[in-house]
Amino acid sequence: QKEVEQNSGPLSVPEGAIASLNCTYSDRGSQSFFWYRQYSGKSPELIMSIYSNGDKEDGRFTAQLNKASQYVSLLIRDSQPSDSATYLCAVNDSGGSNYKLTFGKGTLLTVNP
């Protein structure tokens, strides 16, 4: 059973701080990693993808990948109250095709004004 683990939170940070969200995965063959943001009562929205070791930056978001440690993280700089949401980590299933993903249970982030 492939697993993707995240701290459930809640993670609470003050406005303007850096929020750090972490994810570990069990499938050593995985090559594609995603972060989704899900507001309460809404559907998941893809915000970041990363495929290579290292950092990938997009605006205030930075995804970090370390395949040797099977670890993915998402940093949110200058956190805003509008960033308050649940963040889902998703990892591709390497054993087959059809582009399946395994999702973590999500980390609830609260940004306090």
Strands, E assignment, 1-113: 4-6, 11-14, 19-25, 33-38, 45-50, 54-58, 61-66, 71-76, 85-92, 101-103, 107-112
The stretch among 16-24, 52-60, 72-80, 102-110 that binds other proteins (CB under 8 A) is 102-110
104 binds other proteins (CB under 8 A): yes
Answer for which of 44, 63, 84, 87 binds other proteins (CB under 8 A) is 44
- Closest approach, Cβ 38 to other proteins, in A, equals 9
Radius of gyration of the chain (CA): 14
Sign of CA dihedral 78, 80, 83, 84: positive
The stretch among 20-28, 59-67, 76-84, 88-96 that binds other proteins (CB under 8 A) is 88-96
Q: Which residues of 44-63 are buried (b: 16+ CB within 10 A; e: fewer)?
A: beebbebeeeeeeeeeebbb
87 binds other proteins (CB under 8 A): no
18 binds other proteins (CB under 8 A): no
106 binds other proteins (CB under 8 A): yes
95 binds other proteins (CB under 8 A): no
The residues of the shown chain that bind other proteins, judged by CB under 8 A, are: 32, 34, 42-46, 49, 88, 90, 92, 97-101, 103-106
